[in-house]
Chains A and B, each alone.
Chain A
Amino acid sequence: MARSRSALVLCMDVGFSMSNSAPGDESHFDLAKKIIQKFVQRQVFAETKEELALVLFGTDSTKNPLHRDDQYQNIIVHRHLMVADFELLEEIENQIHPESQQADWLDALVVCMDLLQTETKGKKYDRLNIALLTNFSTASSSDNLDIIIGNLKKAGITLQFFLPFPLDEDEQGGEDGDSRGPGHQGAGKGLSSEQQNALSMMKHIMLSLDEEEGLDEVYSFRNALQELHMFKRIETRPMAWPCLLTIGSSLSIRIVGYKAVTEEKRKKTWMTIDAQSHQSEDVKKETVYCLDDDNETEVQKDNIIQGFRYGSDIVPFSKVDQEQMKYKHDGKCFAVLGFSKRNLVQRHLFMGNQVLKIFAAKDDEHAGIALSALIRALDELKMVAVVRYAYNRSSNPQVGAAFPFIKKNYECLMYVQLPFTEDLRQFTFPSLENNKKVTPSETQLSAVDSLIDSMMLVEEDENGETDDLFRVHHIPNPDFQRLFQCLHHRAVNPSAPLPPIEPWLKAALERPEVISERCRAPLEQIKKNFPLTEVEKKKPLKTSAQIYGKDSGESDVKKAKEDVEEGEYNLADITEGSVTSVGSVDPARDFCTLVRQKSLPFGEVCQQLTQRIEQLLSNKNTQYYMKSITCIQAFREQSVKLENAELYNSYIQSLKSSVPSRGLEVFWDLLRQDALTLISRDEVEGSTVSKYEANQFLVAEEKEEEAMAASPAGDVGDVDDLLDMM
């Protein structure tokens, strides 16, 4: 297998003119360095096999094989051809600085060419490339230009230039001023004569190498950085799958299939390492088997056989038997079972995780014609081929559909897997249309209508051309981008916490700003027309079955109540009138019943009640607060009735003192609204509290509360909502 192999020399100008910049602008040097860093980063994470070398020019010292006397001075071969790694990244970060000399960029180019030629000698490379980053501030002689061009051509070396200013005169108009060098009004005007001179030489070189598109390989720093901000996608070479498409026994067409769309997974998995030594071999995972008895008796691997479930039975079934008895087939196949109307194959029933594109076999004109006839016949009849597909002998056969796909410059069949009977789950759901409770009104429908109109991501301009504002298939997988960002960050700063998600990535995943602007008003309308109320959060339900058929709000509240209680709450207890203690379902009523029954002393009943209240208050939830209020109300009423203020007063006083520490301000507020203050002497004779004290009891709290205003702000909203609802 001939793998493509390529070599690239990054050739960067570090001379003194590179470090000049207007105040506030990044210097050319900094920009060029960033480009190189980003580029190498991408190479490292894409794990390309491309070999990289780095040549610097304008350096104070000189280190290159061509250096003789005063020839090729101030040029350093910093790194020879090698696959990019973190070492290189660190070197770029720490060892490349602006220096104070100048060197001829043409000389540097020659050094790069020499490097490529000597270091790739005897090996086959598909691509040899030199990327030159400079601002052309040094004078260079054009004497040897034609020899250089000749050599480049002979060696098949391609060139790329990265310049601080845009090359194109037209491009300038649209570009922001900041992309140009300091003090320059425009590339043409503001450039020094050396730069002008160098530019024309460069153009000459590039056009000699490629007459038509040569200048496309000249980039401005700014553009290059924009292109480089995302991590490179990992290239996968498409594997050809040659096969025969068969219709009946005697018509075969030679085809070749390629995976065209498939969910790419992360290529590398995390290895487990020891936290101390960071060595993976220090960690070992071992699996043991044991019987399901009390001792968990361990069983040796040799004593284990395999079996399968057949319903309740477990059938021992050895691997050998299984292999022998299993379904076998003739291997690779793409056989038409029949043709069907296209609309019978439903999009949402596509199975598998890939789409194959099927072309005719390479260089087989006849197969090409035959396949084209099929593609076009299907397209014109609006039909698809239903086929049996097997990748090879050891993979399971599938049933799938081959759709005709005709593009301007090519045509093919597209294969997608379809479901087997066993894969389908026929769920039925309640109708939405026949249910009056959920049928939207005309106003509601028109609100949704205008929302959709305001949020259309595809627009058509006057020329009838459509513009898609949100192409998902142009967004890089954020999972990979984020992973590489974090890995890179960690590699460079081992002890720093992980960085936040990069802003460009975040933005790429959000609703486009134009749309956000446009849909603001329609969204307001939706908000107004569709009341959406969250049903009180409760403990996660044990099974979904419990939810079905219980969609009325009442039963949910009931459930919530039930959940408070530790033990099981029995409906019978109340209905049969045998209240023996203060339950959690309706503690106030239980309390009243018990007080009336007098089967227990008042003090004990009160204690039971206060326990329930405490229990309720431990759930910081307005619903429970309301219930507690009812309890306190009952407590107060019964206390007044029995002329026993002591228990109530002492409880409510202790409750008050615990309010700040337990964060019960909201609850206390409710209590105050209901004027559930101390029982005063006016009400019960034995009370030690005066009327004034009783009145002040709640008011004082108010002031205190105001003083410590901060915390309950959020919760108060809830209470208001709740009160509005009631």
Chain B
Amino acid sequence: MAEWNAFYHNEDEDEEQEEGEQTSGDYKVTGRDSLVFLVDASKEMFIKGEDGELSNFDMTMQVVRSVYTTKIISSYRDLIALVFYGTEQSKNPRNSFKHVYVYHDLDEPGATRVRDLDALLGDKGEKLAAETMGSGETSLGDALWCCANLYSDIKYRLSHKRLMIFTCRDDPHGGNSTKDRQAHTKARDLKETGVMIDLMHLMKPGGFDVSLYFRDIVSPAEDESELGLQLKPCDKLDDLRKRVLAKEQKKRSLARIKLILDEGINMAVGLYATAVTARKPGAVKLYRETNEQVRSKTRTFQTQTGSLLLPSEIKKAQVYGKKKIVMERDEVDAIKKFDDPGLYLIGFKPMEKLKLHHHIRPAIFLYPEDDQVKGSACLFSALLKKCSEKNVFAVCRCTPRRNIPPRFVALVPQKEEVDDGKVQTKPPGFNVIFLPYADDIRNLDIPHCPIASPIQVNKMKEIVSKLRFKYRSDAFENPVIQQHYRNLEALALDMVAPEETDDLIMPKVEQMDIRLGPLIDEFKNMVYPFNYNPDVKPAAKRKTDDGGGSEKKPKVEVSEEELKNHMKNGTIGKLTVPLLKDACKQFGIRVAGSKKQELIDALVAHLGS
């Protein structure tokens, strides 16, 4: 059995190898992140604003809910807890703390928990909170102690621990110095065990004075500027959400490599993925009887003898010019090696030389790692400053990991930007833009382009101006992913139907039409002749295409002999994909993909050459 196990491979292993070059956004998980929301439930939190503004409590709950749902999508393995303090009722593991109510202990967020949170929203939520928890005395020290216990009960390895305090009271104990001191001690204990404590202070009449009490509770900011404490209190939902999200996301580098100016001048930098295409998560396989998750194992064996194959008994091959060219597995890797990992500086170019359309992959972000090479941050900072002053970008040869062929990248300087609330909107560093090689640029036959007259252009300008809006990169949710999670939510919670999703990337045609009014017709009159209908032609054409195509070709089958002939002459590539597919079916060959090459490879393998 033991031997058997040794040859099981991870199913995805090979795919990973193929895609290894891509810097995907997935990190190796070495532990779980955890986040504790410690929310003040005192009466002050429930006071509504004058013009029906949300109460601080309501606002907090909305933000907490959105963190739950984003975590479910982005990193469901992270642990979240929700604890209230200043409550009348108490509920905690050993009920040893008064006025602390653990609503959710540290666990993975799930559907039920989201529902629980929904119940705390709005007026109904306020009522429920009053009924179940009420507002009472405050002891932040007890609350922090209770949170510390939550951590110690966890059996997982935690990689990152964060605790966020939401409150609008800057002097929670009303001057009770014993309680103040106790809370300070507990906060220090927590910080010593690696918990980061953040304060999400909310609006209160007369302003929130951080220095009054909370200064010593929270963890010092990562940099000297003490950005965290200079923040104004939040009074808007969006601000709070932004602030929480910014803190909540743990940044992990994709790789830490050297930025090499020349031999002997190496800075350490980290690569971070700031925009990664979110995909629907893959399905998990379950055992029908128990709905229990099953593991998959892949083994490789010799079809003739049935014995398992050791890695050394396997080689790799490709066929070119009718010849099978064989390599060792490590040679296949060795071919991909050009440099040791690193960013090798080639030179600089003026910004306008960076072509907008030279885009092949999402960019990544570069930030110095002073703890690996001391002095990196200083040189990096100087480089950043000068590049942006001189409006140039750096060209580097980039090898992110071992055995990955190099790509050239542009390092585009990005200065730090903060918004009114002093929340960082753009971090300082370089954006790494991947540049295409000659092979990546396709030759197109440029069609004839007629040019519009100035009057026509001006009319279009009017149209464009009518439909102006301010683009924000975070404004569009992915309808596919949203629908998927709504469906899961509905199934998980036995709902009758999934919640409706708004398709935000659907044009709001009616509104657009109203805004444009007669402009559209005016423009059409200028550019289109009478009875020209752009909608009809392609549709009609497609019809004839489809109809004609299927009639003309009543399934041509290729005989084995023909196929062999094609193989011999190397002309098999001339056959169309449908033909090849049919041929595969004919011989009962199962093909993993539907790419032409895969089909051909399968056929060649089957018929032998």
A273 at the interface (CB under 8 A from B): yes
A558 at the interface (CB under 8 A from B): no
Interface contact A254-B538, CB-CB below 8 Å: yes
A708 at the interface (CB under 8 A from B): no
Interface contact A282-B302, CB-CB below 8 Å: yes
Listed stretches B94-102, B148-156, B438-446; interface member: B438-446
* B329 → A minimal CB distance (Å): 9
Chain B 450-461, CB-CB to A under 8 Å as 1, else 0, gives 111000111111
Q: Give A258 to B397 CA distance when docked, in angstroms.
A: 29
**The residue from A271, A338, A545 contacting B159, defined by CB atoms under 8 A apart:** A545
Most buried by A among B196, B373, B427, B442: B442
**The residue from A274, A325, A436 contacting B498, defined by CB atoms under 8 A apart:** A325
Q: In A381-397, which residues have CB < 8 Å from any B CB?
A: 381, 383-384, 386, 388, 396-397
* A487 → B minimal CB distance (Å): 5
30 contacts between A and B (CB under 8 A): A3-B574, A47-B320, A86-B321, A236-B442, A278-B326, A286-B298, A306-B285, A307-B283, A308-B284, A311-B110, A338-B468, A340-B468, A347-B356, A357-B444, A373-B456, A397-B480, A422-B74, A423-B277, A427-B249, A428-B427, A429-B251, A431-B416, A434-B224, A447-B382, A455-B345, A456-B392, A482-B405, A494-B326, A523-B261, A535-B372
A551 at the interface (CB under 8 A from B): yes
**The residue from A258, A261, A523, A542 contacting B265, defined by CB atoms under 8 A apart:** A523
B601 at the interface (CB under 8 A from A): yes
> By DSSP majority rule, is chain B's interface helix, strand, loop, or mixed?
mixed
Query: Which 8 pairs from chain A and chain B are nearest by CB?
Result: A430-B223, A312-B108, A85-B321, A340-B471, A83-B570, A348-B431, A440-B382, A479-B405
Contacts of B354 in A (CB 8 A): 347
Q: Which bucket holds chain A's interface residue count?
A: 35 or more
Interface contact B381-A478, CB-CB below 8 Å: no
Listed stretches A169-177, A289-297, A572-580; interface member: A289-297
Question: Apart from A316-B491, A416-B357, A440-B379, what are 5 other A-B pairs with CB-CB below 8 Å?
Answer: A336-B507, A340-B470, A344-B470, A354-B360, A425-B251
| With contact pairs A428-B427, A439-B381 given, residues A553 and B468 touching in the complex (Cβ less than 8 Å) | no
| With contact pairs A414-B356, A435-B223, A472-B395 given, residues A340 and B469 touching in the complex (Cβ less than 8 Å) | yes
Interface contact A271-B605, CB-CB below 8 Å: yes
* B170 → A minimal CB distance (Å): 24
Interface contact B160-A299, CB-CB below 8 Å: no
* B521 → A minimal CB distance (Å): 8
A487 to chain B: closest residue by CB: B325
A350 at the interface (CB under 8 A from B): yes
* A239 → B minimal CB distance (Å): 10
A199 at the interface (CB under 8 A from B): no
| With contact pairs A85-B322, A280-B605, A550-B371 given, residues A337 and B505 touching in the complex (Cβ less than 8 Å) | yes
Q: Give A454 to B266 CA distance when docked, in angstroms.
A: 19
Interface contact A311-B108, CB-CB below 8 Å: yes
Q: Give A388 to B477 CA distance when docked, in angstroms.
A: 12
| With contact pairs A310-B111, A419-B473, A431-B223 given, residues A250 and B513 touching in the complex (Cβ less than 8 Å) | yes
A515 at the interface (CB under 8 A from B): yes
Interface contact B326-A490, CB-CB below 8 Å: yes
Q: Give A435 to B376 CA distance when docked, in angstroms.
A: 13
Contacts of A598 in B (CB 8 A): none
Contacts of B313 in A (CB 8 A): 274-276
Contacts of A269 in B (CB 8 A): 18, 597-598, 601
Q: Give A351 to B279 CA distance when docked, in angstroms.
A: 13
Contacts of A472 in B (CB 8 A): 395, 408, 435-437
A491 at the interface (CB under 8 A from B): yes
A654 at the interface (CB under 8 A from B): no
| With contact pairs A248-B516, A317-B491, A535-B374 given, residues A470 and B346 touching in the complex (Cβ less than 8 Å) | yes
B interface size (C-beta, 8 A): 239
B358 at the interface (CB under 8 A from A): yes
Q: Give A426 to B365 CA distance when docked, in angstroms.
A: 11
**The residue from B113, B276, B386, B529 contacting A311, defined by CB atoms under 8 A apart:** B113
Interface contact B253-A544, CB-CB below 8 Å: yes
Q: Give A290 to B285 CA distance when docked, in angstroms.
A: 10
**The residue from B373, B427, B436, B601 contacting A532, defined by CB atoms under 8 A apart:** B373
Interface contact B480-A457, CB-CB below 8 Å: no
**The residue from A280, A381, A533 contacting B317, defined by CB atoms under 8 A apart:** A280
**The residue from A246, A290, A353, A547 contacting B295, defined by CB atoms under 8 A apart:** A290
* A349 → B minimal CB distance (Å): 5
Q: Give A447 to B261 CA distance when docked, in angstroms.
A: 13
* B77 → A minimal CB distance (Å): 9
**The residue from B108, B276, B358 contacting A423, defined by CB atoms under 8 A apart:** B276
Contacts of A418 in B (CB 8 A): 473, 476
Interface contact A427-B365, CB-CB below 8 Å: yes
Contacts of B227 in A (CB 8 A): 431
Q: Give A254 to B110 CA distance when docked, in angstroms.
A: 47
Contacts of A430 in B (CB 8 A): 221-223, 225
A475 at the interface (CB under 8 A from B): yes
| With contact pairs A317-B491, A456-B348 given, residues A268 and B597 touching in the complex (Cβ less than 8 Å) | yes
Interface contact A534-B372, CB-CB below 8 Å: yes
A281 at the interface (CB under 8 A from B): yes
Interface contact A420-B478, CB-CB below 8 Å: yes
Interface contact A501-B338, CB-CB below 8 Å: yes
Contacts of B412 in A (CB 8 A): 347-348
Q: Give A492 to B354 CA distance when docked, in angstroms.
A: 42
